[in-house]
Amino acid sequence: MKIPALSYALLACAMLARADTVEIKAESSDPDAKGLKLEGKVVRDEKDEPFIVFAVYNESGRVPIPRYKIKNLDYDMDSMLAKVGEDDYAGRYKVALWAVEHGKLKEAIKLFEQLVGKDGVGDDMDKRMAEVYEKRHQLDKALVKYSDYLKLHPDDTESADKVEKLKKEVNPEPEPGPETKNAQAKSKVEPGLEEGGTWVVEPWGHPGSAQVMPDEATGGKVVAVRCQVGKEKDKAAISRVGQPLNLADSKEMVFKVSHTCEGPVKLAIAFCNTLGDDHEAEAKRVPPKTWMTFKQPLDGKIWKSNRNEWKAYNLDLEGRDNIKRIRFMVYTDKPFDLYLESIYFK
Which pLDDT score, from 0 to 100, does residue 224 have?
96
Which pLDDT score, from 0 to 100, does residue 99 have?
92
Number of helical (H) and strand (E) elements in the chain, helices listed first: 7, 17
What pLDDT, in 10s, does the model give residues 165-178?
999 898 776 655 55
Residue 209 has pLDDT above 50, yes or no: yes
H or E element, residue 256: strand 252-259
> Among candidates 110, 149, 104, 106, which has minimal Cα distance to 128?
149
pLDDT (average), residues 80-99: 91
CATH number at 5-74: 2.30.30
pTM as predicted = 0.76
Alpha carbon 42 to chain centroid, angstroms: 29
CB within 8 Å of 173: residues ≥ 6 apart: none
In the chain, where does the domain assigned CATH 2.60.120.430 lie?
A: 193-345
pLDDT cut 70: percent of the chain above it: 87
Could you say which DSSP state residue 67 is in?
A: G
Which pLDDT score, from 0 to 100, does residue 187 have?
39
Least confident of 42-46, 106-110, 172-176, 277-281: 172-176
In the chain, where does the domain assigned CATH 2.30.30 lie?
A: 5-74
Could you tell me which residue, 103 or 40, shows the higher pLDDT? 103
Which pLDDT score, from 0 to 100, does residue 105 have?
94
Residue 156 has pLDDT above 90, yes or no: yes
**Assigned superfamily of 79-170:** Tetratricopeptide repeat domain (1.25.40.10)
**3-class DSSP state of 104:** coil
Which pLDDT score, from 0 to 100, does residue 185 have?
40
Topology annotation, domain 193-345: Jelly Rolls (2.60.120)
Which pLDDT score, from 0 to 100, does residue 59 have?
66
> Among candidates 269, 207, 214, which has minimal Cα distance to 240?
269
Alpha carbon 21 to chain centroid, angstroms: 31
What pLDDT, in 10s, does the model give residues 256-305?
999 999 899 999 999 999 999 999 999 999 999 999 999 999 999 999 99
pLDDT (average), residues 207-224: 89
What pLDDT, in 10s, does the model give residues 221-249?
999 999 998 778 999 999 999 999 999 99
Specify the length of the chain in residues.
346
In the chain, where does the domain assigned CATH 1.25.40.10 lie?
A: 79-170
Mean predicted lDDT score pLDDT of the chain: 86
CB 297 within 8 A of CB 317: no
